[in-house]
Amino acid sequence: MRNLFPFHLGNVIRKLNEIRIAINLQYQQTFPKSNSRLLSYYSFVPRRIKIKPSGEIAGGLSRFVTSLIDFSFVRSICASAYSSVGGHAYDPVSLFLLQLFQWLEKFPDLKTFLSVVRDEEKGKHYRLYAGISSCHVPCEADFTHLKNRLGEKLYTQIAQVLVEIVRLLGLLSFSILSTDGTLFPSYSHYKGCTYFCKECHSIEFKGLIENVRRRILYKLQEPTRVALGREIKVRVDCPSTRFPEDIQKPKVELLTLSLKIADPEQPNPFNKIFGVEEELKAQGLDVIIRRINFHSISLDPIDSFFFRCPKLPSDTEARIGVRRNPKNPDKLEKIFGYNTVFTTSIELSLGLECPVGSLTISGNAEEGNQFIPVKEQISRHHPNTKIDLADAKYDELHNYEYARTTGSIPLIDYNVRNEDVSIEGLKRRGYDRNGWPFAPCGVLCRPNGFDYQFQRATFTCQRQCVLSQDDKLREYSQSCPFFINYHGFIKHMPIKQHPRLITEIIRGTPRYQKLRSLRPASERLNSTAKDDLHILNKPRVRGLKRAAILGQLTLITILLKRVAQFIIKVTLTVRKERIKNPYGFIIIRGPKVPKFILNLVQRE
C-alpha cells in the first residue's frame, strides 16, 4: 500500500513551489504586448487556504486552484497568437481563468457568470484571482475572440502542461489508461438531412423567372388546372456528393408559391417580376410566395438565383451520433452533435481517476479510429502506458498494433461483428468467444499462461475427462492420444493469427475480468462532465473548433477538481490522525493493489 501522507496540503504546497520554477523556466516566451496595453494582468499570489472540517474551502475551488498553481505559463503559450501591433487587449491568462472559474463553480453559462463577476461584492474574489479590475470586466465577445485566437491546439497545450504539473506532484503514472467517448448535442437543430456538404450553402438555379412563368401560364390555359391555395413547388436535384450509391438523392425545394384571388387595393409585385401580370389580371388572380430560401440573385446574362438548402442546419460540422438512451438502455437514441473522446489515467494505489487526454470529432461514427490520435497526444508528453482499456467501439486491428508497438497491453472488448457465435458455430471454428480452443474430445480447454517470448497463449484440456461424469467423454479418454501427457491436450493460440481475440491477459480469466472492471472509470468521467459539472449537458456550442475547445476545458476542469478533492481528503485524514497521535509518524494507507497488476505496470 502506498503512503498518502506526502499529498497533505502542506507537502503539496512545498512541492508545487519547485514545480512552478521548473515550468516557468520552460515557458519563457515574451508576450508581444507591453503591460501598459493590457486591460488586465494576472500574477501568481500564494494565498492562505482554509479547509473546513466538512471539506468545504473558504473562497471555493477558484481560490484553492489559483493559490496552488501559477498559471503564468498560459501567457507564454498564447504569445504566438497575439501581435505587437493593434489596440489594447485582456491578458489571456485572465480570460482563461474566468473560463475555468465558470465551470469550477458550476455556473450554467457565461452570461450568468459574467453578471456575477460585474457585481461589486459577489464578483470581487473572481476579479482578484484573475487579475482584472471592476472597470474593465470582459464581455462575452472577448471570450469568443480568445477562442478564435488560440484554437484547439493551444488549449490542448495548456491542458497538457497542467497534466504535467499533476504528474510531477506524483499523482499520475499513466500506467493504466481507459479510453471512451461521450456524445453531446450541438446548439443547432437537425433538419432531416445527413449527407449535407458545402455545396448545399449555395445552390444555383438558372432561369428561375422563366421556369415559374411557364408553369403559371400552363395552369392558366385550362381553368380546371387552377386551384387556389395549392402549392406550386420549384425543386432541383440535390448537389451533395456524400450520398451513398444505394440511396437516391432527394429533390431540394427552393421556392413554393400559389395563386389567390387578386386584391385591387394591394397590387402584388410578384406578378410583374414573373412576367405574368397581364395574364393574371385578366383572370383576377395574384401569385404569392409561401416559402423561399434564396440569398442572392444574378441577372446578367441570365437570371440566376442562389438558394440555401432548407434542410441545411446552422451547424454544418455536427453529425448524427447514436448512443443508448440513459433512461432506457434497451433503446438507441440519435444525437446531432459532437463526440469527445477522453482518456482517463487510473491510479489504483491512490484511488484516483484523472482525465489526461481529449479529442473531439463530429458524431461518433469514427470513434474507433480516434484511439491512436488521442494516444499520440498523450505519448508526446507521457509515453509510459502499460495497459490500455477500451470498449468494443475501439476493437480495430490498427489499435491493437499501435498499443503493442508502444509497449502497452491492449485490453479492448471484442466485437463479434458478423461471426457465428452459436455453440455449433464455435465448435466448427475450434475456439469459443474468448479464444479458448476446444480439445478433440469436445471439452473446452483452459488457459495455462501467456508466453511473452513467442507471443502466444497456451491452453490445455487438463484431463478433465478424469473427473467427468459424462460416459462418452470417459470412453473417449481410453483411446485419447493426449491422455499420457501431464496436462493432456495442449494448444497454442498466437497473437499473430488472432491479433484481436488473443491478448496478453487472456480473455475470460479472473485477471482479465479484474482489469476490465476498471473501465467504468471512463463512464464516471463522462457522467461528471454532464451530470455534475453540466459542461457537456446541452452546451451552447456550434462548430467543431468550439466543441474541441470545450472538450479541453472539460478535461482541465475535471482534472483540477479531482486533484483538489483528493488533496482535501488526505489533508482532513491527516488532521484526524494528528489528533490521535500528535507527535508520532503518520501513515495514511492508500488502496490495496492486486499483486498481478503491480507486476504488469512495473514490467520493463
Percentage, residues of the chain above pLDDT 90 = 61
Percentage, residues of the chain above pLDDT 70 = 99
C-alpha cell recorded at residue 457: 497463449
Q: Cis bond leading into 301, ω under 30°?
A: yes
Q: What average pLDDT does this structure show over 120-137?
A: 93
Q: What is the pTM of this model?
A: 0.90
Do 600 and 386 touch, CB atoms closer than 8 A?
A: yes
pLDDT tier at 468, thresholds 50, 70, 90? confident
Provide the 3-class DSSP secondary structure of residue 236. strand
pLDDT at residue 249 in the model: 87
Over the stretch 530-564, which tens digit does the pLDDT of each residue have?
999 999 999 999 999 999 999 999 999 999 999 99
Which residue in 517, 527, 588, 512 sits closest to 562, CA to CA? 527
**198 exposure class (CB count in 10 Å sphere: 0-12, 13-18, 19+):** exposed
Check pLDDT > 80 for residue 123: yes
Helix (H) / strand (E) element for 180: namely: strand 176-185
Do 32 and 24 touch, CB atoms closer than 8 A?
A: no
**447 exposure class (CB count in 10 Å sphere: 0-12, 13-18, 19+):** buried
Q: What does the domain layout of the chain look like in residue ranges?
A: 198-307, 415-506
Q: What count of other Cβ atoms lies within 10 Å of the Cβ of residue 122?
A: 11
pLDDT tier at 486, thresholds 50, 70, 90? confident
Residue with C-alpha cell 473522446? Answer: 341
Which residue in 226, 201, 194 sits closest to 365, CA to CA? 194
Lowest-confidence region among 329-343, 365-379, 515-529, 577-591: 577-591
**Distances in Å between the alpha carbon of 562 and those of 55, 61, 501, 559?**
13, 11, 35, 5
pLDDT at residue 396 in the model: 94
Do 235 and 254 touch, CB atoms closer than 8 A?
A: yes
Over the stretch 160-189, which tens digit does the pLDDT of each residue have?
999 999 999 999 999 999 999 999 999 999
pLDDT at residue 299 in the model: 65
Check pLDDT > 90 for residue 219: no
Check pLDDT > 80 for residue 371: yes
Helix (H) / strand (E) element for 118: namely: helix 110-118
Do 268 and 223 touch, CB atoms closer than 8 A?
A: no
